[in-house]
Amino acid sequence: MGCNSAIEDRISISVLIIVCVSLICSLILLVFCILSDILEEFTRKILFYLSLNTMLRSLVNLMLKIKVMWNACFIIAYLNDVFLVSTVIWASLIPITLYMVLVKKKEYNDKYYKRGLFFSYVIVSLILALPFITKNYDREGEWCTLESNERGIIWGLALVYLPSWIMICIVTIFYIKTYFCIKNTTDIKFRSILFERGMIFSVIIAFTLLPMTIMRIFSLFFSGCMIIYFHSIAYSISHLLGFYNLIALLMNQNIQKVIKIKLTRNDRERIESHTGATFLISSSEAKIN
């Protein structure tokens, strides 16, 4: 039995709105990273690339609304997965750097950032080009993605979702080790670890990956309208990443303080006193002996 075309049209419109919302939120974050000095340089870099990847994913998926672009569906699907895995890598850099600075007492080294660039764009791009060999990047309904046949699903799980979940597990271990190593020497609460030090961005990545991973596994056993509808839900959750990141940044108490100051009084000295506050590490905590 075929899917209801009216329902498919409503799904398509809903997804379009979601992608546009994520695009706008990502643009706001990019502008914030470029123009604001509230966050430390490395913190801004990570947030910049998280937002850039999300923005590019949104732009790539907006291209699907241009029918002539369907001929390049394999490129769109490839870029979509590259930007997704790259986002996971950048989110993973936050706890690793936090651990090295607060626990290992090492100063921040720019090599962490350079390694992030290399792995997230060069290595990931090469690895995710493998499905081109078997021509498994293609159009699936309204989406450009890895095909829903057995080979395409295996590619997706092996190259996108399994590595991403491994990185998320590693991130969790780093956060746990960091928390237990410093909790006896500093008064750090869970909320501070979650929002001020960026764990929330890793949680967001896990939240957006979960439905897409489940959808890929279900595709091995089911097909038809049910998978199309579930794909739409998973796709919508995944592509609201820009919106989630913006909300997470606004939950940062240091950011809230600066916003409140700017809204209530034009006091440059008080604003400058918060410059350098970050969701990764604050200047005072970075000097813990």
pLDDT tens per residue, the chain (289 residues)? 456 666 666 777 877 888 899 999 999 999 988 887 777 777 778 889 999 999 999 998 888 777 667 788 888 889 999 999 999 998 888 888 778 877 777 776 677 778 888 999 999 999 999 999 888 887 766 678 888 778 888 898 899 999 999 998 888 888 888 777 777 666 666 566 666 666 788 888 888 888 888 888 887 777 767 777 777 788 888 889 999 999 988 887 777 777 777 777 655 555 555 555 554 444 444 444 3
Residue at 258: amino acid letter: V
- Taking the C-alpha atoms of residue 175 and residue 169, their distance in angstroms, rounded to an integer, is 10
Q: What is the pLDDT of residue 54?
A: 92
**Beta bridge partners of residue 145, listed in sequence order:** 138
- Which one-letter amino acid corresponds to residue 63? M
Domain at 5-287: CATH architecture? Up-down Bundle (1.20)
Q: Give the pLDDT confidence score for residue 269 in this predicted structure.
A: 54
What pLDDT score does 126 carry?
94
Best CA proximity match to 113, nearest among 87, 94, 88: 94
Token digits of residue 173: 């271990």
210 contacts 235 by C-beta, under 8 angstroms: no
Q: Both tokens of residue 182?
A: 């410093």
What pLDDT, on the 0 to 100 scale, is given for residue 203? Answer: 83
String of DSSP letters for the chain: -PPPHHHHHHHHHHHHHHHHHHHHHHHHHHHHHHH--SS-HHHHHHHHHHHHHHHHHHHHHHGGGSGGGGGGHHHHHHHHHHHHHHHHHHHHHHHHHHHHHHTS-PPP-THHHHHHHIIIIIIHHHHTTGGGTTT-EEEETTEEEE-SSHHHHHHHIIIIIHHHHHHHHHHHHHHHHHHHHHTTTS---HHIIIIITSHHHHHHHHHHHHHHHHHHHHTTT--SHHHHHHHHHHHHHHTTHHHHHHHHHHT-HHHHHHHHHHHH---HHHHHTTTT--SS--TTGGG--
- Give the pLDDT of residue 220: 75
Q: What is the pLDDT of residue 134?
A: 86
